[in-house]
């Protein structure tokens, strides 16, 4: 009877240890998931701030200078205006 109690104790400790390890490993990534709490409608707007994306003008396209900014209407006649970010050289949509 004493042997069964020892084995049961070892199994119980092992199960608690495995459960604690799984909970610890799953909890480590929670700090990096803060972006998931933001509304989905904000994500495309933030992307446009940093990169013109595939629909925008290519970095090799040249615009015209207006009020100290290099600007470009792309595609021509679309009323969609872009300006070149001086630091990155990428086109950013003027929203």
Q: What is the dihedral of CA 79, 95, 44, 62, to 10 degrees?
A: 60
Of 4-18, 19-33, 44-58, 73-87, give the range with the top mean pLDDT: 4-18
* Three-state secondary structure string covering 21-74: HHHHHHHHHHHHHHHHHCCCCHHHHHHHHHCCCCCCCCCCCCCEEECCEEEEEC
Answer whether residue 83 shows pLDDT above 60: yes
pLDDT, tens only, 31-81? 555 556 665 554 444 544 555 445 788 888 899 999 888 999 988 888 889
Q: Is the pTM of this model over 0.75?
A: no
Q: Name the residue ranges covered by the structural domains of the chain.
A: 1-37, 42-95
């Amino acid at each position: 009877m004493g042997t069964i109690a020892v084995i049961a104790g070892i199994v119980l400790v092992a199960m608690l240890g495995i459960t604690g390890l799984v909970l610890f490993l799953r909890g480590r990534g929670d700090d990096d998931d803060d972006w998931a709490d933001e509304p989905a409608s904000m994500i495309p707007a933030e992307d446009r701030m940093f990169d013109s994306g595939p629909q925008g003008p290519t970095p090799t396209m040249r615009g015209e200078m207006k009020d100290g900014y290099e600007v470009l209407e792309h595609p021509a006649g679309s009323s969609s205006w872009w300006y070149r970010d001086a630091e990155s050289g990428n086109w950013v949509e003027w929203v």
